[in-house]
Amino acid sequence: MSLYTNWTDMVVEYVKTKGENAFWAEYSKLETAIYKDLLANHKESKKTTIGDLAIDYDSTIEFAMGFVDGINDSLKNPYDLETLEADTEIILDIDLETLYFNMLDAKAEYLYTLPQWDGIFSAEKREEIKKSYKDSKTVRNTEKIGRNDACPCGSGKKYKKCCGK
């Protein structure tokens, strides 16, 4: 069984036994500590293993794997999580704009408001990323239905005589 599978199974069991709030309290503590260090040293990529992350941040290998799972979409070269082992060397080469965007998407206010972001992006740049995030969530209907067009419900009637009433 892969470390990634162990992580996902552990989450399910943890939530069943201790509750979702307890899980997020423990996981967010680890996540915050790692991100503070990574963002403080954002100019260099961190080389480590999942086992070393667990040791460095006084956590379990499963929780460290969870961190890698969470950051994977924000890496310049994402990993196949199923193939990672505790002693596999990983390079956390982060695309910082993508990371900030993904933190907004995860609604992780405790992460995207970390003071370490001040040394990375200006307030204007963060607002720009927030705007692009909000724009990505806005759905726009590009095709307008004319009153004399066939109704999109499939009734065969004109829109003005059917759903457009």
Span 114-142, mean pLDDT?
A: 91
pLDDT tens digits along 144-155: 888 898 888 889
pLDDT bin (cut points 50, 70, 90) of residue 44 is very high
Span 132-159, mean pLDDT?
A: 86
Picking from 101, 47, 48, 43, the residue whose alpha carbon sits closest to that of residue 74 is 101
Q: In angstroms, rounded to a whole number, what is the distance separating the alpha carbons of residues 114 and 38?
A: 12
pLDDT bin (cut points 50, 70, 90) of residue 143 is confident
- Looking at residue 140, its pLDDT comes to 76
- Looking at residue 152, its pLDDT comes to 86
Least confident of 24-28, 109-113, 157-161: 157-161
- Looking at residue 113, its pLDDT comes to 96
- Looking at residue 75, its pLDDT comes to 97
Is the backbone of residue 135 left (phi > 0), alpha (psi -120 to 50) or beta?
A: alpha
pLDDT bin (cut points 50, 70, 90) of residue 36 is very high
Q: In angstroms, rounded to a whole number, what is the distance separating the alpha carbons of residues 136 and 71?
A: 20
Residue 165: pLDDT over 80: no
